[in-house]
Amino acid sequence: MISPLKWIAGVIAGCAFVSLVHAQDAGADNRKEDDAFLLLREAVRKDETQKAEFYAARLPNYSIPSYVDYYRLKSHWRDATTYEIREFLKRYEGSAIADRLRNDWLLELGRKKDWPNFDDQLPLFVLNDDTQVKCYALQSKALKGLKVADDARALLTAPNGYGEACAGLIATLYQAGQFSDEDVWAQVRLSGEFNATGQARRAIMLLGGVDKKITQAVDLPLVAIAKGPGTGRVEHETFLVAVGRAAKTSMKLAVLALEKAAPRLSAQEQAIGWAAIALQSSYTLAPETSAYWRKSEGAPLSIDQHQWKTRIALRDGDWKQVKKNIAAMPEALRSDPAWIYWRARALMAESAVPGQPAHATPEAAQLLRSISDQASFYGLLAQEELGRLISIPPPGAPLAPAEVAAIAERPGFQRALKFFGMRLRFEGTREWNWELRSLDERGHLAAAEFARQNHILDRMVNTSDRTRVQVDYTQRYPSPHDDIMHPATQTLGLDKAWVYGIIRQESRFIMDAQSHAGASGLMQVMPSTARWVAKKIGVTDFVQDAITDVKTNIMLGTNYMNMVLGNMDGSQVLATAAYNAGPGRLRSWRATLDKPMESAVFIESIPYFETRVYVKNVMSNATYYAALFEGRPQSLKARLGTVGPKGYTEQERNEASFGGK
């Protein structure tokens, strides 16, 4: 006879077994549904309507029904009725995916020139972050007789992203008399600068030009410049586009062509040609660049041309020219923190006494104060110019568990977690950021803590970065895997703050992060680099799949950083640039130096936009990490120091004096 206790224990064990089986079955079902959802998403991306409908039909009770309905609707978007679209928007109003669909619909309404419905829906588009929608919106206003030329000029700065919407806006404004010939010619030149052949053709046809000739000027510039400038403005402008394009591949031929054509060009046309050449020369940091910019005086400049003319003046130490160039920038560009900082520095240099440190004049101090509260590269430099080092502010009141629990209950964050778990980072980030819109600073800190608890450190950093008054620097600058990192950096003698500064910028602590180029893991190590480093340090059993292992990734990444740092004479600035752009490119940029240069100037004049931003962020990160690790104020300016040609000693660099400093 079985005792009662044994019988009860058996029943409990049986129930537990049944529960486990049910849980396993539910997990398997969820995985099947997730797989079907991923296949649905892929079918819509490939425009496979029948497959999309097949997979959607398998998801009648999916945990995120709004996305199933979105992809089902998108699978037959060309045939979707207004009723279907409005019903979706009504059903999911206020959600991120509804705003996404409204974005899609606005693009379709603009394409169809259905302005009544477009104007009805536009005020409901919450994010309003689509350039093409903005172009359609301005086009709709222009067709009603409203003046939008100034707004259009501010928007139309990158022709490679115009598409049909922005091309149509240019045509509408030109035909309505809101854009002059000069506006359209500026777009022709800008299209040449951006290698946007299609947009160059559209613009020049508005002016009565021949699209074949502008196509040749953009795509086969050496052939075009060999023919000379021809006669008339259309021929001249087309020739000038070709000169700028030719300078990308042969500066010598572009210069010779412009000099030969000079007698047949007006003074302004010559200046435009020299500005096009100077821009391409700026990208190579060639010694002749300053002379080219001087010859461009009087030319109307693009956004990039304004900035590079100023960067070259910075490299020359010509503070008077820096001040003049910044004053000539459009207001929106002049208000960028970078140019606010350098304008202040130019004012300080102007009033400096030779042989003495420069001090902020009242006007310079006002400019510096306007950006000194920003936790960014130029904000930190401005803070130091005002005499304050970088320190970590005391944390506010600790978060209560209930505050984080309230975040966990919000459907948008639940959807985000679901998507992150499926490695759909785009969708997860969209849902996450959508929820952040309705939170105050305290809510942002709670959301960042929720992200930390769920090991989504990139969202933690991004979310915490948005606060201005209530701040938590342990969220903004986390240091995970320190049990591995600390001994690795200590053994190599590496600055741990700098290494974490690199990781924060490279991967935002996403362990399985992978770039388009194939770089992997926390430190975004390329497979070829990993094999090379492994061989150098004597790892004989290395396999490529090990790159995403935390310990292996840190071991390879820190050793590579140490090697690069050694090759760059111990300069963190140069090594950081090399880590991003490659040692070869960095060596060519460094070879343009003939004497030590203030590192902030060198960084601002790095030819690659991505690398320029990267180095600024890494060096700012490292300064904050050092303040956290050491518990004392830090100097970004001291960390940057100066850079010099190969062979200059640290003492020689430190003894260099720049900008009256």
Quick: pLDDT tens for 595-629: 999 999 999 999 999 999 999 999 999 999 999 99
Confidence grade of residue 544 (pLDDT, cut at 50, 70, 90)? confident
* pLDDT given for residue 202 in this prediction: 94
> In the chain, count of helices (H) and strands (E)?
39, 2
Quick one: pLDDT band at residue 417, thresholds 50, 70, 90? very high
Instruction: Give the angle 350-355-293 at the CA atoms, nearest 5°.
Output: 40
Mean pLDDT of 114-129: 97
Please provide the size of the chain in residues. Answer: 661
* Residue 28 near residue 34 (C-beta atoms within 8 A): no
Alpha helices in 496-641 (DSSP H): 496-506, 527-536, 550-567, 572-581, 583-590, 599-604, 609-630, 636-640
Domain match, 488 and 603 both: yes
- Residue 100 has φ and ψ, to the nearest 5°, of -65, -45
Q: Please, what is the angle between helix 550-567 and helix 482-492, to 10°? A: 30
Residue type at 553 in one-letter notation: N
In this predicted structure, the answer to whether residue 658 has a pLDDT above a threshold of 50 is no
* Same domain assignment for residues 541 and 425: no
Other CB atoms within 10 A of residue 318 CB: 17
Distances (CA, A) of 108 to 78, 103, 115, 272: 9, 9, 11, 38
Cβ 319 vs Cβ 659: under 8 Å: yes
Query: Does residue 349 form part of some domain?
Result: no
Separation CA 585–CA 599 (nearest Å): 17
Distance CA(374)–CA(636), nearest Å, equals: 14
642, β-bridge pairs: 598
The neighbouring-strand residues paired with 107 are: none
Residue 321 has pLDDT above 70, yes or no: yes
End position of a domain, from candidates 423, 440, 471: 471
When pLDDT is cut at 50, 70 and 90, the band that residue 11 belongs to is very low
Task: Name the token pair of 272.
Answer: 């435009």
Query: Which domain does 74 fall in, by range?
Result: 4-80
Question: What's the pLDDT score for residue 193?
Answer: 93
User: How much is the pLDDT for 660?
Assistant: 37
- Whether residue 17 is predicted with pLDDT greater than 60 in this model: the reply is no
- 444 and 585 fall within a common domain: no
- CB 307 within 8 Å of CB 605: no
Residues 524 and 630 in one domain: yes
Residue 101 neighbours by CB distance under 10 Å: 22
SS3 for 122?
helix
Which residue matches tokens 């001087």?
Answer: 294
- Classify residue 219: in a domain, yes or no: no
Regarding whether 500 and 436 lie in a shared domain, the answer is: no
CATH number, position 532: 1.10.530.10
User: Which one from 506, 604, 610, 655 is the annotated catalytic residue?
Assistant: 506
CA dist 612 and 332 (Å) reads 20
Give the pLDDT confidence of 130-174 residue by residue, as tens digits: 999 999 999 999 999 999 999 999 999 999 999 999 999 999 999
657 pLDDT exceeds 70?
Answer: no
pLDDT in tens, 231-271: 999 999 999 999 999 999 999 999 999 999 999 999 999 99
- Cα(310)–Cα(473) distance, rounded to whole angstroms? 35
Q: What is the pLDDT of residues 518-527, one digit of tens each?
A: 888 888 988 8
Going by C-beta distance under 8 Å and a sequence separation of 6 or more, which residues neighbour residue 174? 183, 184, 206
Residue 6 confidence (pLDDT) above 60: no
What integer is the mean pLDDT of 363-378? 96
Residue 594, pLDDT above cutoff 70: yes
Burial of 499: CB neighbours in 10 Å, binned 0-12, 13-18, 19+: buried
User: Which DSSP state fits 642?
Assistant: E
Report how far apart, in Å, the C-alpha atoms of 423 and of each of 81, 353, 418, 427, 504 are: 32, 58, 9, 9, 20
* Mean pLDDT (whole number) for 413-426: 96
Among 80, 104, 125, which residue terminates a domain? Answer: 80
Among the three residues 80, 110, 133, which one is the final residue of a domain in this structure? 80
**530 and 566 both lie in a single domain:** yes
Q: What is the mean pLDDT of residues 586-593?
A: 95
Residue 256 tokens, joined: 């010779």
Do 466 and 507 lie in a common domain? Answer: no
Q: Is residue 537 part of a domain?
A: yes
Within a domain: residue 548? Answer: yes
What is the Cα–Cα distance from 366 to 387, expressed in whole angstroms?
Answer: 14
Q: How far is CA 469 from the centre of its chain?
A: 25
How many CB atoms are located within 10 Å of the residue 283 CB? 14
Residues 571 and 440 in one domain: no
Q: Are residues 412 and 512 in the same domain?
A: no
With beta carbons less than 8 A apart as the criterion, state whether 448 and 472 touch.
yes
User: Is residue 372 domain-resident?
Assistant: no
- pLDDT-derived band at 2, boundaries 50, 70, 90: low
Report the mean per-residue pLDDT for the chain: 92
Structural domains of the chain, count: 3
Return phi, psi of residue 227, to 5°: -80, -15
Q: 350-365 b/e with 16+ CB inside 10 Å = b? A: eebeeeeebebeeebb
Whether residue 440 is found in the same domain as residue 568: no
In terms of domains, do 499 and 622 share one?
yes
- Does the pLDDT of residue 189 top 70, yes or no? yes
Percent composition of the chain: helix, strand, coil (DSSP 3-state, to 5): 70, 0, 30
SS3 of residue 520 by DSSP:
strand
Helix (H), strand (E) at residue 561: helix 550-567
Radius of gyration of the CA atoms of the chain, in A: 29
33 a catalytic residue: no
Beta-bridge partner residues of 525? 520
> Do the Cβ atoms of 158 and 191 come closer than 8 Å?
no
Q: Kindly tell me if the per-residue pLDDT of 18 is higher than 60.
A: no
Please report whether residue 615 resides in a domain: yes
517 vs 494, more confident? 494
pLDDT at 112 over 50: yes
What pLDDT score does 659 carry?
39
458 in any annotated domain: yes
pLDDT digits (tens, 9 = 90+) for 426-452: 999 999 999 999 999 999 999 999 999
Q: Are residues 522 and 405 in the same domain?
A: no
What single DSSP character describes residue 209?
-
Residue 145 falls within a domain, yes or no?
Answer: no
The structure's pTM equals 0.91
Query: Which of 316-320, 348-352, 362-366 bottoms out in mean pLDDT, i.e. has the lowest?
Result: 348-352
- Region 445-466: what's the mean pLDDT? 97
The answer, yes or no, to whether residue 43 has pLDDT greater than 90, is yes
